[in-house]
Structure formats: structure tokens, C-alpha cells
Chains A and B, each alone.
Chain A
Amino acid sequence: MRLNSVYGIYQEKDNGKPALSELGLRFVPLDLIAHWRRCGITADFLAEFLAYNFLNQKTAMSVVSTLLNELLENAVKFSADKHKRVNLTVCHYGDTITVETTNSADEKQAQHFDTLVQRLLSVDAETLFLNQIEHTAENDTDASGLGLISMKKDFNVEYGVKIVPDTGSDDYVVSVKVRLKSEEVDQNGN
């Protein structure tokens, strides 16, 4: 039976609150893999775009760029079809921002990510962070999810994940939505 999972904030009922600002971009994964710096350039650009909404723009720029870069790197790296577009959307709702990515995944990637997400949503982030470091030291894996775990541990972000069958192929469509509260960023200001 094929996976069909919906986790976290994707399970919430839409409150109908409109975004105060929104920006979406579309990428060819292969292009970003060939020119890896474009992940960072994109993350920095979008972080600067969003930073205006925070009291401490310097801190916001740093936190949001880190978050965006991790999500974009993951979406590109774990795209099963490197030609199938990756979507990235950022929204600002006043007291929160959201970042959403969508990419393709094959059966193995989808199963692996599904397991990771279940742990991410149920295990204490600090414990998970340390366990993953010990685990990846012994198993040279590239799919540790350490970036997602770090963002939860450090900035208390909330996650939503959808893993649904892609119509017309054996692959899946993986959507990841991250919600960051402005106060989490502003509390870390200097």
C-alpha cells in the first residue's frame, strides 16, 4: 500500500488569515545541484526580503536564511526526479512566517522521510539532535534531517509534512511547511 501521510500543521484547519506578504519561487533541482551556491544565494535573498517584518532584522536575517537554506537544500537534494520542479513559498502573517517546499521523492526516500518526520514530531528535539549526530558519525548518511531537528531545537519551529502519491508515476509529492514565530527570532536579538 502506498504512503499517504499528513502530519503536524497541515492537519490544522485553515484559519482563513490572509498573508501580509507572499513570495514563491520555482527551481529545477538539477540546476541548483550543478550550481550549489544558488541555494545559499536564494536563502539570503528571501531572508532579507522577510527580515523587514522583524524587530531585529540582523537576527531575523540569520535565522531565516539558515531555515530557508536547509529546506531548499533538502528539497533539491532529495528530489527523485532532478528535472521536476521544486516549489518554495514564503509567507508572512504578522506574528509568524511560514516556508513551504514541494518536491518529488521516490518510494525509498518517501519511506525514510516519513519515519524521520514521525520521530521529529514525537521525540524531544535536543535528544534527537544528539542521537542523530552519533548515528551519522557511524553511518555516513546524507539524510540525517539534522537541519530540521536543529530548527526545532533552537527556534521552536512547527512542522507540517505531506507525503502523497504522485498521480501518473510511482513517485511521491513531498510538501514540508515550517512555521516560525516572530517572537522566537526577536527573543534571540542582541
Chain B
Amino acid sequence: MEIKTEDYSIESVDNTKSVIAGILRLTSPAAYEKDFEHIQKGITDSSTGYTVDIANVNFMNSSGITALSRLVLLARQGNKSLTLVINESIPWQKKTISSLKKLYEKLEIRS
């Protein structure tokens, strides 16, 4: 499944991985819900763990950070392994995302 807009794309590579790319500055956390639906399902259904690759997301507003954090909390709730692939040369990714590790010990953040 792939969602593609003028600003961003969200692609489910397989049952264990999604790749988000572009600029995500939607109006509210709720506005992200629909686009993140299949990622939520992937995390919930996963048995070996799920990976979300955001290395090519140049910008994500705080509503997006909230939505992304909810994926981490969803994984925590279901005791699922979750990996976020980030790009450390993008300031907000290096700084903001690293704090999410404190929400869930099984969250792996790698670049």
C-alpha cells in the first residue's frame, strides 16, 4: 500500500516495514490518523517486530511527532518490538526522536 501526496509518501514495503518520506505538516494529530492506519495495523499484527523508516522525512510538525509517538505507545501497549530508522543529519530527527526511547525500552532507534 502506498499513500502519495504532493508533499509526502507513506509506503508499506511489506508486513514488517513502512517508509515515510517528504514533508509532513498536517493540521492536527487526528489528520495523521488515516495515513498512519496501516502502520498501526502492521504494529498490532506484528510477531517479529515492525520498522518505520523516517530517514527521508525532512520536516514533521509537532502534530506529526504526536502521531509518531502514538505508534510508539501502541507498540508499548501490545509489547511489540518497534524500530525507527532516522537520519541523524536532520536536526529534529536527531534531537526529538531520540527522546521517544524514554517512552518504551523496546523501541530501537537507528540511523
Contact surface of A with B, Cβ cutoff 8 Å: 33, 36-37, 39-40, 59, 62-63, 65-66, 69-70, 73, 77, 126, 129-130, 133-134, 136-137, 140, 142, 144, 146-147, 150, 153-155, 188, 190
Contact = CB atoms under 8 A, between A and B. Distances in A.
B62 A150 contact: yes
Looking at chain A's contact residues, is the secondary structure mostly helix, strand, loop, or mixed? helix
Contacts, number: 83
Most chain A CB within 10 A, of B7, B25, B27, B89, is at: B25
Given A137-B69, A150-B96, 19 more contacts: A33-B27, A36-B27, A37-B7, A40-B59, A62-B58, A63-B91, A66-B91, A69-B59, A126-B102, A129-B99, A136-B66, A140-B29, A142-B28, A142-B63, A146-B62, A146-B65, A154-B95, A188-B91, A190-B89
B56 interface: no
Given A40-B23, A130-B103, A133-B66, A153 B95 contact: yes
A154 B96 contact: yes
Interface residues of B, number: 29
B36 interface: no
